[in-house]
Amino acid sequence: MEKVKNKVNKLVNRGLDRHMRLAVTGLSRAGKTAFITSLINQLLHSGTNPRLPLFTPAREGQLLGARRVPQGQLHIPSFDYDQGIHALRSSPPSWPVPTRDVSEIRLELRYRPESGPLRLLKDTATLYLDIVDYPGEWLLDLPLLSMSFVEWSAKQRSVLNGRRRELAEQWLTEISELDMLAEADERQIKHLSGLYTEYLHKCKDEAGLHWVQPGRFVLPGEYAGAPVLEFFPIVSDKLSESALSSAPPNSLFSLMKKRYDYYCEHVVKDFYKEHFSQVDRQIVLVDTLQPLNAGPDSFNDMRQALEQLMQSFRYGKSGLLRRLFSPRIDRILFAATKADHVTPDQHPNLVSLLQQLIHEAWQTAAFEGIDMECVSLSSIQATEPGNVDHKGETLPALRGTLESGEAMLMYPGEVPARLPGESFWQSQGFEFRQFRPMPGPSDEPLPHIRIDKALQYLLGDKLK
């Protein structure tokens, strides 16, 4: 009898174990690596973690524990949790090295079902949680799928103004004399694509801009060094449509067009097919503070990049994505990261600024039955709230250690609750400093702000 019961239990377990793929994305330095490291850390401590009051399954004791298990997708690089924890627990502590490609890790969560069919059948259940990390820059490529090479080139031409034009100068000078209809020269293409890629890197690194296309040129992942990442837009408007349509097949133009088409067909589409369409829940991390610090150009560019990124979730009934890949994401959480860079009284403003940033896309997506929410959080809290006396007044402040090792008590300023206007930029009222993570014992969960709120939204209903 016992044997039969065991067998039935095993079958029930196998049939009822659940899987969930949670994707984490955001533009470079938005805080993906820190977020995933902390999320795993909180869950690994979940049986006894006092830091998760807003995560009902942990608070109510349904979540019994979590452990790491081998991931399902063997061809995807593993997320290096150990490296991250090692860095955070070193002396002095440092931030984990950011990931630059897609990576994945699987956790097994054991819980006590409280309701639903599982409650009747078993005492404990398992949720396999796959956490997938991918660069938000890859989502900036979605519009390429509905643009020809000539249309994409025209789009790139239209943004080559001001700072971008300055950064592109060397590439622009070298291609100005180029005959796009002449025979292609492999060495020349490599050199010029290199200059174009350098320009895209400078946009990000020197100007704090986020909107760069093609996204894989700056974060190539498995395609590093492949010819599919060696092309550039034609920015000369001197070539007529008929000249381009009758370009010889061995011409520079034809080769650029061929590589662009290959990029769309194999790099962009494959990402959506292989990764994006498998995702159940998504969190998009947004660092709103760095662009506030950097100035209006950086902020507006981040806003544009974010709007572009949101297109990937606007898949509706007849959208391009729906037709191509039938995505199944039902919940998206937008999170303003690094909330510990501002005093707690500013956290509501941080959320409201994020809501404003994604307002339009939010409204559209809400119509399409995807649930969305905004939160502000700090994956790994590096400062503690305190007070400073200023001209006889006591003001809220932050206490932490700067990356240089200097102890600091400061008031970083106010976060605007709405999209900042002229007066905000003129007063330049915001000062953002990089803090070192706080030291702490390795057997305790990492300090955070509202990771438990994120967990509740993303996982709470799956652990009932």
| Least distance between ligand GDP and beta carbon 65 (Å) | 25
| Least distance between ligand GDP and beta carbon 276 (Å) | 18
Rule CB under 6 A: say whether 447 interacts with ligand GDP: no
| Under 8 Å between Cβ of 302 and 343 | no
Comparing CB distances to ligand GDP, the nearer of 39 and 365 is 39
Comparing CB distances to ligand GDP, the nearer of 83 and 364 is 83
Burial degree of 232 (CB within 10 A; 0-12, 13-18, 19+) = buried
Comparing CB distances to ligand GDP, the nearer of 37 and 71 is 37
If we measure between CA atoms, which residue out of 286, 354, 288, 347 comes closest to residue 30? Answer: 286
Rule CB under 6 A: say whether 337 interacts with ligand GDP: yes
Backbone angles phi, psi at 430, to 5 degrees: -135, 130
| Least distance between ligand GDP and beta carbon 339 (Å) | 7
What DSSP element (H or E) covers 189?
Answer: helix 186-205
Comparing CB distances to ligand GDP, the nearer of 362 and 435 is 435
8-state DSSP, 380: S
Q: In Å, what is the CA distance from 112 to each residue of 39, 47, 119, 126?
A: 20, 12, 8, 9
Rule CB under 6 A: say whether 98 interacts with ligand GDP: yes
| Under 8 Å between Cβ of 377 and 347 | no
Whole-number Å distance between alpha carbons of 284 and 12? 35
Q: Which stretch binds ligand GDP (CB under 6 A): 190-198, 315-323, 337-345, 363-371?
A: 337-345
Rule CB under 6 A: say whether 362 interacts with ligand GDP: no
> Which spans in 280-367 are helix H?
289-294, 296-310, 320-325, 347-357, 359-367
**3-state per-residue secondary structure call for 15-82:** HHCEEEEEEEEECCCCCHHHHHHHHHHHHHCCCCCCCCCCCHHHHCCCEEEEEEECCCCCCCCECCHH
Residues 17-36, mask of contacts with ligand GDP (x by CB under 6 A): ---------x-xxxxxxx--
| Least distance between ligand GDP and beta carbon 24 (Å) | 9
Rule CB under 6 A: say whether 445 interacts with ligand GDP: no
Give the residue carrying structure tokens 């590093």.
224
Rule CB under 6 A: say whether 201 interacts with ligand GDP: no
Rule CB under 6 A: say whether 347 interacts with ligand GDP: no
* DSSP 3-state percent helix, strand, coil across the chain (nearest 5): 45, 20, 35
Whole-number Å distance between alpha carbons of 357 and 134? 22
Comparing CB distances to ligand GDP, the nearer of 118 and 438 is 438
Tell me how many residues contact ligand GDP (CB under 6 A): 21
8-state DSSP, 442: T
Please identify which residue in 99, 213, 254, 356 interacts with ligand GDP, judged by CB under 6 A: 99
| Under 8 Å between Cβ of 106 and 130 | yes
Q: Which stretch binds ligand GDP (CB under 6 A): 113-121, 225-233, 297-305, 336-344?
A: 336-344
Binding to ligand GDP (CB under 6 A) within 370-389 occurs at 378-380, 382
Q: Edge-to-edge strands of the sheet including 383-390?
A: 383-390, 393-401, 407-410
Three-state secondary-structure class, residue 208? coil
Rule CB under 6 A: say whether 334 interacts with ligand GDP: no
Please identify which residue in 79, 95, 211, 260 interacts with ligand GDP, judged by CB under 6 A: 95
Q: Spell 348-380 as b/e; 16+ CB within 10 A means b.
A: ebbbbbbbbbbeebbeebeeeebebbbbbbbbb
| Least distance between ligand GDP and beta carbon 135 (Å) | 8
Comparing CB distances to ligand GDP, the nearer of 79 and 299 is 79
Written as six digits, the tokens of 184 are 């292609």
| Least distance between ligand GDP and beta carbon 400 (Å) | 8
If we measure between CA atoms, which residue out of 19, 117, 33, 51 comes closest to residue 338? Answer: 33
Residues 424-443, mask of contacts with ligand GDP (x by CB under 6 A): ----------xx--------
| Least distance between ligand GDP and beta carbon 298 (Å) | 16
| Least distance between ligand GDP and beta carbon 99 (Å) | 6
Binding to ligand GDP (CB under 6 A) within 157-176 occurs at none
Rule CB under 6 A: say whether 341 interacts with ligand GDP: yes
| Least distance between ligand GDP and beta carbon 251 (Å) | 39
Comparing CB distances to ligand GDP, the nearer of 280 and 340 is 340
Q: Which residues bind ligand GDP (CB under 6 A)?
A: 26, 28-34, 95, 98-99, 337-338, 340-341, 378-380, 382, 434-435
